[in-house]
Amino acid sequence: MNILITGSNGFIGKNLSSQIKQFNNYKISTFTRLDSKNSLDNKIKDSDLIIHLAGENRPKDPIDFNTSNVLLTQDICSAIDKADKKIPILFLSSEHAETYSLNLRIAIIIFMVRARERQKFI
């Protein structure tokens, strides 16, 4: 099984990747803010599961929260559409995100709307 972990440089992402790598039947791909959108598309195409941990939880500029959380979520949904396959997504968010709860709700709504429209999310 191929697992894509977004936010893999964060505390949870690093530890989760480390733990999963102990099992031989899982291949881990990672996505960080340094990776390109094109690489995201390719990694999603090869994935059987996405663990979406990426997001900004203490931005210096509030616009960074939108870019890292909402726009990345939209990019993930679009890449799944392009891949034309059903890929389960485990979506986690930080408690610090509640300061920006409207943007967090938008990210969650994006997942829900896309799931209904395309029936591609489990």
pLDDT (tens digit per residue) in 10-40: 888 898 998 888 888 899 999 998 999 899 9
Write down the pTM of the prediction: 0.76
Report CA 58 to chain centroid distance, whole Å.
18
pLDDT bin (cut points 50, 70, 90) of residue 122 is: very low
Range of the domain at 71: 2-118
C-alpha distances (whole Å) from 30 to each of 56, 68, 115 are 17, 16, 23
Overall number of domains in the chain? 1
More confident residue, 68 or 20: 20
CATH of the domain at 95: 3.40.50.720
User: Which tokens hold the place of 45?
Assistant: 């195409």
Q: Choosing from 31, 65, 100, 121, which is the catalytic residue?
A: 100
- Residue 26 annotated as catalytic: no
- In angstroms, rounded to a whole number, what is the distance separating the alpha carbons of residues 11 and 1? 23
Specify whether the CB–CB gap between 100 and 61 falls below 8 A.
no
pLDDT for 121 equals: 47
- In angstroms, rounded to a whole number, what is the distance separating the alpha carbons of residues 80 and 62? 27
